């Protein structure tokens, strides 16, 4: 059975005149398709839950937005979604809402995804590549087989630590001392901060 949260009533009531009919209609559609939806206020907007976050709606100064939590799986790369944080772009009138049939199809898909426990894939952060070593460091590595193997073996993050440490040297003498130290540690297979690692 549908549960209406009085905080959502208050949220709609304090919204701009143009926004109220849009929010009322969207809320009614959500409850019509998903009778056991749980609504509330999260992140200062109306949130709908059904076996986890389902959708949200919000009113701004000049537009409203409605979005499915699993937007890409429900509506794909809808061009209108680029206009606002929701799935239907910037909504300023009831005429901009999708048809009731289309909305119901999308809502049922969103519900099914939650019921089946399907999660959104987290985008992978691209690994930051190490900068090119200082020419002096590169030459020293080319002449020291053990140190070169120690430098080329680890992950880019460990390579970057050595490269940045040497590049930050303000004086040539400091840079040369650091290169010498780096060659010794790399030949022993040690990362730059090996002293601080748990043993």
Decide if 191 is inside a domain.
Answer: yes
Residues 47 and 141 in one domain: no
pTM higher than 0.75, yes or no? no
Question: Per residue in 41-90, pLDDT tens?
Answer: 998 999 999 999 999 999 999 999 999 999 889 988 755 555 556 899 89
Question: Per residue in 132-183, pLDDT tens?
Answer: 888 888 888 888 988 888 888 767 778 888 899 998 888 989 989 998 998 8
Query: DSSP per residue over the chain, as a string?
Result: --B--HHHHHHHHTS-TTHHHHHHHHHHHHHHH-TT-EEEEETTEEEEESSSEEEEEEE-SS-EEEEETTHHHHH-S-GGGGTSSSSS--B-SGGGSPPHHHHHHHHHHHHHHHHTTPPPPPPPPPPPPPPPPPHHHHHHHHH-HHHHHHHHSS-HHHHHHHHHHHHT-SSHHHHHHHHHHHHHHHHTT--TTGGGS--
Residues 141 and 101 in one domain: no
Range of the domain at 34: 6-115
Q: What is the CATH number of the domain that holds 52?
A: 3.90.1150.200
How many separate domains does the chain show? 2
């Amino acid at each position: 059975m549908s549960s209406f949260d009085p905080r959502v009533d208050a949220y709609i009531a304090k919204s701009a005149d143009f926004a109220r009919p849009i929010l009322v209609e969207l809320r009614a559609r959500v409850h019509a398709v998903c009778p056991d939806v749980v609504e509330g206020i999260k992140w200062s907007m109306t949130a709908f839950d059904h076996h986890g976050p389902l959708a949200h709606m919000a009113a701004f100064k000049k537009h409203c937005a409605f979005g499915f939590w699993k937007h890409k799986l429900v509506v794909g790369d809808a061009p209108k979604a680029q206009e606002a944080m929701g799935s239907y772009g910037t909504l300023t009138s009831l005429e901009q809402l999708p048809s009731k049939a289309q909305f119901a199809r999308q809502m049922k898909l969103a519900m099914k995804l939650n019921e089946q426990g399907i999660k959104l894939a987290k985008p992978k952060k691209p690994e930051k590549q190490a900068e090119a070593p200082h020419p002096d460091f590169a030459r020293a590595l080319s002449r020291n087989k053990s140190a070169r193997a120690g430098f080329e073996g680890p992950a880019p993050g460990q390579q970057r630590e050595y490269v940045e440490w040497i590049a930050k040297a303000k004086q040539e003498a400091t840079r040369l001392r650091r290169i010498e130290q780096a060659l010794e540690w790399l030949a022993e297979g040690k990362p730059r901060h090996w002293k601080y690692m748990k043993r």
